[in-house]
């Protein structure tokens, strides 16, 4: 199912003021795509997901499923969630605490007045896919967090929805389980061949899961690209900072005649860089330690990550984070380094 | 358009039955009472508008002032006692003791029994010749002779207050207990690590945190005591000589006698006092924030 | 070590005192109900079951009539109250509407009115409608009187059920009514049970309305019945009163012991939490 969001706007009005949560969102989610909405809290990503689900109306623009109009400013265009054939997985699982696992999964089918046979086979199949067949008679309270999330997913897929929506489904799981479930989710989506829209604030989840990722902030799409595209060609300073770990180095400087200077050394600016005041950015992994490097500094702090280490190196009044495989440095050591050519970014800055 | 109108109205349909009941059986009767307080309205006599005449008579009746004085005096003695005893009970109930649930249920029982019934038990306890109170006084030798509990002003006041405190302290205890259980354990532990003793922990840490709960209990109890009726009706009938007649009882006697105008005027006076207290309650207990 | 022993001894003493303080009057009631005459403390105790056989057997005492009236009135009032309060609490916690705070505050303020300021008017209206001395005359104002409390308790229960549960139900295809009946009400069941218990107790204990709006055994409830209890002979029939009180109290006592957790929860919600 292809989803079109055309100029979607959402404004909440209370007696005192109006809050514009989504300003002008234009996104097309391709059929069978795993699409991720990424952004910090309050950026409007969950609201957008609710709009796709049909839990909230839009106050501007329109939403189309395939060719079908499902929401627009006109209230009579609004299509209820159950007519959209979507399913949703929530952060806190939203399982019905008074029902057994079996009845939780069966719930959407019962509401749709499916026959007993169909319900039984549907539930068993979903439970099998999610490996929770042994828990069907338990109540949600008796399950672990990971098992609950599986039940929630089983409930979501039992009706064979056209679109699967995820609202930060892994946030309540511990780190290990999160990684394992992430891999399974992607596999599940591929096997079922369903369009998925996934909301998260975690850039690692976004990068690993998403065929494409839309970065949202202040109700606007900052950039829509593949994970690699976001990492290598951030469209603005916000995206550059939000994506990638350790965080990108950013320094205030100016572009003059196609070059900018840092710590007294000049570097060529990227081809499309604006002239004038800029934020110059370089990822920690794109800085190379070498004795012939144009920059020199002193190691302030070392963070060991396992395979790599992050060195925080001060150079004049600037501090660079540098990702290095060498772990034999000590605090106070003098180092020389260079910036990999072609890996620098320049974003316009208000002086 | 029509459908949209209805869907915006729908939430109110859910509230409507409740609202109708409250409006018809509480709100309109109040207005009706205010209305009839401006009339000379006695059974078998012709009803006529008399404006403030009832209020004039009311305010010049020493019996009314006596009942108001009793009501306020009763509140100022009974409510603090209820709060102190209730809080003390709550502290014990908050401790880790065996059979805590059973003790909690025991404390609840006086509250759960109809006051009319417990008032009758108290009436027997206060009986001059064979009641439990005088029997115990005689056995322990605390009083020289039997006390005429319900026949003297002071005795009746004490008797009524004791019966009411006994019945309502559990309510305070339960509310305060909830407040106590909301006090973070870490805080108490921290105080203990700082070598505070039990009393210090209670007065320096727990009590300040309980303040909001105590304020709510205070206002609830005050407003409820203001309308005290059943204990008095059963135990003393307002006697001796109107010494324990609350405003509610005072007004009730006029309704019973068929003087609806005058009874209404007395209830409106009580209602105004209680309304003022309700406003205070709403203002200071944080209900406004909770509602929004 | 010594201090601990002292503390636990004090605690034990306090707990005993609380139990005695709360229950002594009932023991006294219980003892009196089995005594041939109420002056047994000084005059000697003669065990008898006559008080019970009178209360249960003598029709003109109407104890069973009062009890039946009380049970019917309290049951109907509490059932209706819980139903109406649930609907309203659902709308207030879940639906988009203006004036939620106003409704809650209005209802709260109303619940603080003194009953005496209603009875004159209610008496007249019930007389007009020819409902005086019927159970209906009690049920109607009882519902209105208990609704505010029930609403506050239920709103606090409903508000605590995560909104995602409704959203999940809507996505799963529920209509508003299905969300209420298939998800919210079942999930809030413990809260609804607490509310029903409290409503029942309030209705069962109510005195002033019952005193004003009933005239005889056809609709009179237990509290008024016991308050106005006339014996077969002239003087106050203490033995019978205490027997009737015991018969009324024992079920409530058991009820309280069994469901104290629910009662406490309801009380605390209504009063502390908001």
Residue in A closest to C185 by C-alpha = A98
Instruction: Tell whether domain A3-237 is in CATH 3.30.70.1400.
Output: no
The CA distances from residue B88 to A189, B15, B67, B253, in Å, are 60, 40, 31, 38
Beta bridge partners of A339: A287
- Residue from C92, C112, C221 whose CB has the most chain B CBs within 10 Å, to mutate: C112
Sort out which chain C residues have CB atoms less than 8 A from A54's CB and list them.
171
Sort out which chain B residues have CB atoms less than 8 A from C32's CB and list them.
124
Where does the pLDDT of residue C271 fall: very low under 50, low under 70, confident under 90, or very high at 90 and above? low
- Which of A88, A92, A97 is opposite residue C171, by nearest beta carbon? A88
Residue in C closest to A106 by C-alpha = C172
Residue C123: pLDDT over 60: yes
- Which of C110, C112, C201 is opposite residue B223, by nearest beta carbon? C112
Residue in B closest to C139 by C-alpha = B25
> Does residue B48 fall inside a structural domain?
no
- The overall average pLDDT reported for chain C is 87
Inter-helix orientation angle C63-94/C50-57, to 10°: 70
- What CATH number corresponds to the domain at position B184? 1.10.3720.10
C72 touches chain A (CB under 8 A): no
C200 touches chain B (CB under 8 A): no
Tell me the HSE value of A65 on the side-chain side, using a 13 A CA sphere: 23
Interior angle at CA C79, CA C78 and CA C82, nearest 5: 80
Check: CB of residue A217 under 8 Å from CB of residue A238: yes
Residue C244: pLDDT over 80: yes
Q: How many CB atoms lie within 10 A of CB B223?
A: 21
What is the average pLDDT across C203-231? 90
Burial B106-126 (b: 16+ CB within 10 A, else e): bbbbbbbbbbbbbbbbbbbbb
Closest CA to A220 of A72, A12, A8, A19: A8
Where does the pLDDT of residue C274 fall: very low under 50, low under 70, confident under 90, or very high at 90 and above? very low
Sort out which chain A residues have CB atoms less than 8 A from C183's CB and list them.
96
DSSP per-residue string spanning B50-86: -TTHHHHHHHT-HHHHHHHHHHHHHHHHHHHHHHHHH
Look at B26 and C110 and tell me if their CB atoms are within 8 Å.
yes
- Tell me the pTM: 0.84
Residue in C closest to B95 by C-alpha = C11
Please state whether beta strands A259-262 and A265-268 pair in parallel, antiparallel, or not at all (unpaired).
antiparallel
Residues of chain C with pLDDT > 70, as a percent, come to: 96
Q: If contacts are CB pairs under 8 Å, which of residues 16-75 in chain C contact chain B?
A: 18-19, 21-23, 25-26, 28-29, 32, 38-43
| Residue C35 pLDDT | 85
Location of each CATH 3.40.50.300 domain in chain A: 3-237
| CA C219/CA B247 separation, integer angstroms | 27
Q: How many CB atoms lie within 10 A of CB A248?
A: 23
Where does the pLDDT of residue C201 fall: very low under 50, low under 70, confident under 90, or very high at 90 and above? very high
Look at B287 and C38 and tell me if their CB atoms are within 8 Å.
no
| CA B218/CA B280 separation, integer angstroms | 11
Cα distance from B14 to chain C (closest Cα, Å)?
5
| CA B218/CA B226 separation, integer angstroms | 12
- The overall average pLDDT reported for chain B is 84
Cα distance from A99 to chain C (closest Cα, Å)?
9
Residues of chain A with pLDDT > 70, as a percent, come to: 100
| CA C53/CA C198 separation, integer angstroms | 31
C95 touches chain A (CB under 8 A): no
Exposed/middle/buried for residue A295 (C-beta within 10 Å: 0-12, 13-18, 19+): buried
- Which of B14, B102, B125 is opposite residue C87, by nearest beta carbon? B14
Higher pLDDT, A38 or A15: A38
> Does residue B43 fall inside a structural domain?
no
- Residue from C163, C166, C173 whose CB has the most chain A CBs within 10 Å, to mutate: C173
Look at C32 and B117 and tell me if their CB atoms are within 8 Å.
no
Considering the four listed CATH numbers 3.30.70.1290, 2.60.40.1250, 2.40.50.140, 3.30.70.360, the one that applies to the domain covering A245-348 is: 2.40.50.140
Evaluate the CA torsion angle B255, B257, B261, B266 in order and state its sign. negative
Reported as type and span, the H/E element at residue A283 is none
Q: Which chains touch B (3 or more CB pairs under 8 A)?
A: C
| Residue C75 pLDDT | 96
Q: Which chains touch C (3 or more CB pairs under 8 A)?
A: A, B
Residue in C closest to B249 by C-alpha = C116
Look at A111 and C174 and tell me if their CB atoms are within 8 Å.
yes
| Residue A165 pLDDT | 94
- Which of B36, B107, B174 is opposite residue C18, by nearest beta carbon? B107
Please report the ipTM that was assigned to this predicted complex. Answer: 0.88
Residue C14: pLDDT over 60: yes
Look at C105 and B287 and tell me if their CB atoms are within 8 Å.
yes
A302 touches chain C (CB under 8 A): no
User: B276 is in which domain, residue-wise?
Assistant: 56-291
Look at A55 and C183 and tell me if their CB atoms are within 8 Å.
no
| Residue B6 pLDDT | 56
DSSP state, C34?
T
Look at C212 and B255 and tell me if their CB atoms are within 8 Å.
yes
What is the average pLDDT across A289-295? 86
- The overall average pLDDT reported for chain A is 90
Long-range contacts (CB closer than 8 Å, 24 or more residues apart) made by C17-21: C18/B89, C18/B92, C18/B103, C18/B106, C18/B107, C19/B103, C19/B106, C21/B166
Residue A350: pLDDT over 90: no
Residue pairs between chains B and C whose CB atoms are closer than 8 Å? 292
Inter-helix orientation angle B207-226/C238-271, to 10°: 130
Low-confidence ranges of chain B (pLDDT < 70): 1-7, 278, 281-282, 284-292
Q: Could you give the number of structural domains in chain B?
A: 1
- Which of C11, C41, C105 is opposite residue B97, by nearest beta carbon? C11
C13 touches chain B (CB under 8 A): no
| Residue C273 pLDDT | 41
Q: How many CB atoms lie within 10 A of CB B65?
A: 12
Check: CB of residue B119 under 8 Å from CB of residue B230: yes
DSSP state, B286?
T
| Residue B2 pLDDT | 43
Long-range contacts (CB closer than 8 Å, 24 or more residues apart) made by B81-85: B81/B161, B81/B165, B81/B169, B82/B164, B82/B165, B82/B168, B82/B169, B82/B171, B82/B172, B82/B221, B83/B172, B83/B214, B83/B217, B83/B218, B83/B221, B85/B165, B85/B169, B85/B172, B85/B173
- Which of A54, A92, A155 is opposite residue C162, by nearest beta carbon? A92
- Which of C91, C118, C260 is opposite residue B29, by nearest beta carbon? C118
Q: List all residues 6 or more positions away from A291 whose beta carbon is below 8 Å from its beta carbon.
A: A336
Look at C171 and A111 and tell me if their CB atoms are within 8 Å.
no
pLDDT in tens, A177-235: 888 888 889 999 999 999 999 999 999 999 999 999 999 999 999 999 999 999 999 99
Look at C189 and A92 and tell me if their CB atoms are within 8 Å.
no
Look at B17 and C84 and tell me if their CB atoms are within 8 Å.
yes
> Does residue B20 fall inside a structural domain?
no
Reported as type and span, the H/E element at residue A223 is strand A220-225
Closest CA to A91 of A169, A146, A174: A169
| Residue B290 pLDDT | 45
Cα distance from A65 to chain C (closest Cα, Å)?
16
């Amino acid at each position: 199912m292809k989803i079109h969001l055309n100029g979607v706007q959402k404004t909440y009005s209370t007696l005192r003021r109006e809050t514009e949560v989504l300003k002008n969102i234009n996104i097309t989610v391709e059929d069978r795509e795993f699409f991720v909405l990424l952004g910090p809290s309050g950026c409007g990503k969950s609201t957008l997901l609710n709009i796709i689900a049909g839990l909230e109306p839009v106050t501007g623009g329109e939403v189309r499923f395939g060719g079908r109009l499902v929401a627009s400013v006109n209230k009579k265009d609004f299509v209820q969630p159950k007519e959209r054939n979507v399913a949703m997985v929530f952060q806190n699982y939203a399982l019905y605490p008074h029902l057994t696992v079996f009845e939780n999964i069966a719930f959407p089918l019962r509401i749709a007045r499916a026959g007993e046979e169909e319900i039984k086979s549907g539930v068993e199949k979903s439970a099998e896919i999610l490996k929770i067949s042994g828990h069907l008679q338990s109540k949600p309270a008796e399950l672990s967090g990971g098992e609950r999330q599986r039940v929630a997913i089983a409930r979501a897929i039992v009706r064979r929805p056209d679109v699967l929506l995820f609202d930060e489904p892994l946030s309540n799981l511990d780190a290990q389980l999160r990684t394992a479930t992430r891999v399974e989710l992607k596999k599940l989506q591929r096997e079922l061949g369903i369009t998925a829209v996934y909301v998260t604030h975690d850039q690692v989840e976004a990068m690993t899961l998403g065929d494409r990722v839309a970065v949202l902030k202040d109700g606007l799409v900052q950039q829509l690209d593949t994970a690699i595209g976001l990492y290598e060609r951030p469209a603005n300073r916000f995206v550059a900072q939000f994506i990638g770990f350790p965080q990108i180095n950013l320094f205030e400087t100016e572009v003059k005649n196609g070059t900018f200077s840092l710590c007294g050394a000049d570097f060529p600016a990227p081809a499309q860089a604006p002239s004038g005041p800029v934020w110059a950015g370089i990822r920690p992994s794109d800085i190379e330690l070498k004795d012939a490097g144009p920059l020199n500094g002193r190691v302030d702090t070392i963070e060991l990550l396992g395979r790599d280490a992050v060195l925080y190196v001060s150079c004049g009044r600037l501090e660079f984070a540098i990702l290095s495989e060498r772990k034999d440095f000590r605090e106070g050591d003098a180092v020389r380094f260079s910036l990999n050519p072609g890996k620098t970014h320049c974003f316009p800055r208000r002086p | 358009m029509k459908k949209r109108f209805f869907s915006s109205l729908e939430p109110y349909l859910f509230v409507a039955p409740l609202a109708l009941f409250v409006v018809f059986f509480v709100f309109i009767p109040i207005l009706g009472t205010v209305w009839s307080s401006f009339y000379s309205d006695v059974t078998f006599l012709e009803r006529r508008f008399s404006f403030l005449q009832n209020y004039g008579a009311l305010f010049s009746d020493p019996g009314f002032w006596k009942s108001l004085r009793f009501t306020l005096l009763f509140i100022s003695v009974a409510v603090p006692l209820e709060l102190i005893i209730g809080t003390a009970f709550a502290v014990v109930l908050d401790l880790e003791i065996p059979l805590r649930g059973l003790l909690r249920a025991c404390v609840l029982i006086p509250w759960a029994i109809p006051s009319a019934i417990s008032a009758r038990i108290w009436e027997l306890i206060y009986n001059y010749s064979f009641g439990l109170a005088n029997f115990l006084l005689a056995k322990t030798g605390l009083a020289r002779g039997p006390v005429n509990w319900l026949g003297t002003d002071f005795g009746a006041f004490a008797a009524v207050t004791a019966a009411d405190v006994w019945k309502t302290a559990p309510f305070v205890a339960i509310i305060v207990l909830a407040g106590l259980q909301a006090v973070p354990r870490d805080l108490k532990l921290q105080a203990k690590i700082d070598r505070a003793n039990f009393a210090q922990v209670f007065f320096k840490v727990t009590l300040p945190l309980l303040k909001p709960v105590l304020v709510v209990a205070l206002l609830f109890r005050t407003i409820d005591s203001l309308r005290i009726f059943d204990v008095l009706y059963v135990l003393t009938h307002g006697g001796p000589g109107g010494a324990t007649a609350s405003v509610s009882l005072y007004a009730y006697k006029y309704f019973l006698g068929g003087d609806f105008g005058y009874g209404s005027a007395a209830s409106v006076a009580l209602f105004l006092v209680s309304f003022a207290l309700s406003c205070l309650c709403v203002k200071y207990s944080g209900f406004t924030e909770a509602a929004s | 070590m010594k201090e601990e022993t002292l503390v636990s001894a004090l605690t034990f003493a306090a707990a005993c005192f609380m139990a005695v303080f709360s229950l002594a009057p009932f023991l006294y009631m219980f003892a009196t109900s089995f005594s041939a005459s109420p002056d047994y403390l000084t005059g000697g105790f003669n065990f008898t079951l006559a008080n019970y056989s009178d209360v249960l057997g003598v029709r003109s005492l109407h104890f069973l009539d009062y009890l039946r009236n009380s049970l019917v009135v309290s049951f109907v009032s509490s059932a209706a109250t819980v139903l109406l309060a649930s609907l309203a609490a659902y709308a207030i916690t879940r639906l988009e509407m203006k004036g939620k705070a106003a409704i809650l505050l209005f209802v709260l303020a109303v619940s603080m009115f003194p009953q005496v300021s209603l009875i004159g008017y209610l008496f007249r209206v019930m007389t007009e409608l020819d409902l005086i001395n019927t159970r209906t005359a009690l049920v109607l104002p009882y519902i209105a009187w208990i609704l505010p409390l029930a609403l506050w308790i239920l709103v606090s229960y409903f508000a605590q059920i995560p909104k995602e549960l409704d959203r999940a139900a809507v996505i799963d295809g529920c209509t508003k009514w299905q969300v209420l009946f298939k998800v919210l009400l079942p999930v809030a069941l413990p809260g609804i049970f607490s509310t029903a218990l409290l409503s029942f107790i309030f209705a069962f204990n109510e005195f002033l309305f019952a005193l004003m709006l009933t005239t005889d055994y056809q609709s009179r409830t237990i509290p008024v019945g016991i308050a106005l209890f006339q014996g077969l002979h002239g003087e106050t029939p203490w033995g019978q009163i205490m027997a009737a009180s015991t018969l009324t109290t024992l079920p409530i006592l058991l009820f309280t012991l069994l469901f104290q957790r629910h009662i406490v929860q309801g009380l605390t919600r209504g009063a502390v939490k908001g």
